[in-house]
Every structure is written in C-alpha cells, then in structure tokens.
Structure 1
Amino acid sequence: MDFLGPLPSFNFYISLIDEGASDFSKVLSVASDFLLAGFSECTGLESEVQIEDYRAGGKNDRVFRFPTRANYTNISLSRGIGFSEDLYLWHEGFLKGEGKRKNGMIYLANETRVPIKCWTFENGIPVKWSGPSLNATSSTLAIEKLEIAHEKLTLTFSPGMGAAALAGAIGF
C-alpha cells in the first residue's frame, strides 16, 4: 500500500455521542457505532475563516484583510432506510423541544478498514431530516438523510499527528 497516495472516499465510519457523555461512554459509543453505523454518504466536512476588510486612510495601494470568525458547513449523512429509527428520533426530539445535542466522530479508513483520519464535530443539532422518495415504478433504494448543524469541526487524528495529540483532542 502506498502511504503517500490519496485515500479512497468509500471507507468511512461515523459515531454519534451524547454531548454530556463520560469518557467511558464515548469509547462504548464509538465501538458500537463501528459495528452498527451504515452511512452511504457524508458531506459537509468543510470549514472556512471569514475575512474582514479594512481600508486604511493614506494606504490607497491595498486593502488590509484580517481573519475574523470560523464558519462550518452543516454535515449531511445519507443511508438506506432500515429498521432503525435512531436518526429520525434524534431529529424528532428537537421538534418536540426535548432534543439533546450530540458530538460526532467521522473516520476515513484505508482499504483494510483501518482508520487513517478522524474529524470530530461538537454540539451537533439535527436540523433537517428527509425521508425517502417513494415511487412504485422505481427499484431504487429508500434513502434517508440527516443534516447536522454544529459548532466546530476539528481534524483530531491523522498519520502526521502523535498519539498525545489524538488523546488530547478527543478528551482522554
């Protein structure tokens, strides 16, 4: 395997963790979601730094640009509908005013399914759930989608990071 080549995007895992979970609960949640989570698509691993322009008097040859706030795109998860209602129930909790935020971990794995990179998002809220398009003349899979707004996205593990950085990033 070439460690310097690009990784394929089809091997990934996702774990959703209750915001107030203990470290032990986090480990159990990650371990169980490695076995149970089945998403066919994950988009929205994006962040950007907003810029503020400043036009200084007497400096007509330039505009000074300063970084201000970070901005994160919503994460969108898609999967074939099965018997589990966990994503819908999480969203429905917020519709009823009883929802709980979740943190999440998104892992990109190599061809042997070993995690190579990990991103974490914090304080996720399921802002949109979409059920399948139903059509009796089509034989496509029934897909549900969940869009998650969150407060922060961090690359918490990568081959270039040490074990101490990983442990500190996920709170162990």
Structure 2
Amino acid sequence: MPPTPPDAGSTVFFRLTIDGLNLGLFNGCDGLSSQVEIEQHQEGGNNGFVWQLPTRVVFPTIRLTRPLTAETARVAAWISSISTGITRPTAQIAALRADGSVVAQWGLVEVLPVSWTGPTLDASRPAVATETLEIAHHGFTDAGGV
C-alpha cells in the first residue's frame, strides 16, 4: 500500500525569517496576496470590448499573529533597529506542519515593520496574551523552493 500523503488541511504554523534571523513561529498569517491594478481604455470605433491595461502591482501588508513567546524580544529588537536607519531586508515566510515539514514558503522583497500590537493586559478579562506584527513589502521573490 502506498504511503499516505501529508494532510494539507492539518494545522499550519508560519515561521518568519528576516535576512536569516528567525523571528519565530506564528499561528496566523493574513495578507499574502498581490493585485494588478487595471486601467480601462475605450478605443474609438471599437465597441466589442474595452482594453484592460495593467498599470502596477500592489502588495498589501501582511499580518502575523501569535501568543506571546520569548521570541517576542527578537521582533522588538528588529523594530527598534529602524530608529538607527532603515534597511529593507529580504524575508521568508514558511508554512509548516506540526511535524516541522514545509508546506509552502514565500520570499518577500524589501520588508519593513509597520505595526506591532501587544496584548491587552486586564486581570478582569483573562485571555491568552497575543501579539500582532504587520509588515510591508515590495513583492515576492524566490523563497528557495520547498
């Protein structure tokens, strides 16, 4: 009997690496997408269709979420490094199964942290302390394969 392939629908975690520095695992990742903006051009005498011309590619920010961990300090250090001068490194987001095997990965060009939100600490409302990191980028690049 052939081996059973890994379940693609199983729990997935996301590892964020910035220029080789592992910022840890996140359990949520939103915004991995791109959109080509289109300009419509109506050509005189051509009533059969309207030209759809690409103008630019837009990449929304990516939001990564997780419970607070010791790796939160690495995120804070990366964000703090912005105050000494902006460098826009390359990043990699890898989707991992629970056993650590890679499902997929994405390389990101010229990454910049734009927002970090820490937990709301309120003893009257106990909950898991979470953080959210939002990053901007200028597009996708080769992530080194799977």
TM-score relative to the length of structure 1 = 0.70
CA 1:127–1:11 in 2, change beyond 3 Å: closer, same or farther? closer
Q: Which residue does the alignment assign to 2:130?
A: 143
- Cα deviation, 1:1-49, whole Å, max 9, x if unaligned, reads 336x6443523322121xxxxxxxx4xx4xxx3xx71312111111111
- Structure 1 vs Structure 2 CA RMSD: 2.5
- Cα deviation, 1:117-146, whole Å, max 9, x if unaligned, reads 111111111011112112111221211211
State the identity %: 27
Where in structure 1 do 4 or more consecutive aligned residues deviate above 4 Å? none
Instruction: State whether residues 41 and 52 of structure 2, in contact with CA within 8 Å, keep that contact through their aligned partners in structure 1.
Output: yes
CA 1:91–1:121 in 2, change beyond 3 Å: closer, same or farther? same
CA 1:116–1:11 in 2, change beyond 3 Å: closer, same or farther? same
- Cα deviation, 1:82-140, whole Å, max 9, x if unaligned, reads 3442212322333x352432321111234532113111111111011112112111221
| Structure with greater helix percent | 1
CA 1:9–1:49 in 2, change beyond 3 Å: closer, same or farther? farther
Deviation for aligned residue 1:57: 0.6
3-state SS of 1:88 partner: helix
3-state SS of 2:77 partner: helix
3-state SS of 1:85 partner: helix
Instruction: State whether residues 41 and 79 of structure 1, in contact with CA within 8 Å, keep that contact through their aligned partners in structure 2.
Output: yes
Give yes or no for the alignment of 1:75 onto 2:84: no
5+ unaligned residues in a row in structure 1: which ranges? 18-25, 158-165, 168-172
Number of residue pairs aligned between Structure 1 and Structure 2? 142
TM-score relative to the length of structure 2 = 0.80
Q: Which residue does the alignment assign to 1:38?
A: 25
3-state SS of 1:87 partner: helix
Q: Which stretch of the first structure deviates more once superposed, 106-115 or 39-48?
A: 106-115
CA 1:147–1:137 in 2, change beyond 3 Å: closer, same or farther? same
Alpha-carbon distance in 2 for matches of 1:58, 1:68: 24
- Cα deviation, 1:37-65, whole Å, max 9, x if unaligned, reads 13121111111111111110111232110
3-state SS of 1:37 partner: strand
Q: Which residue does the alignment assign to 1:8?
A: 10
3-state SS of 1:91 partner: helix
Alpha-carbon distance in 1 for matches of 2:143, 2:115: 26
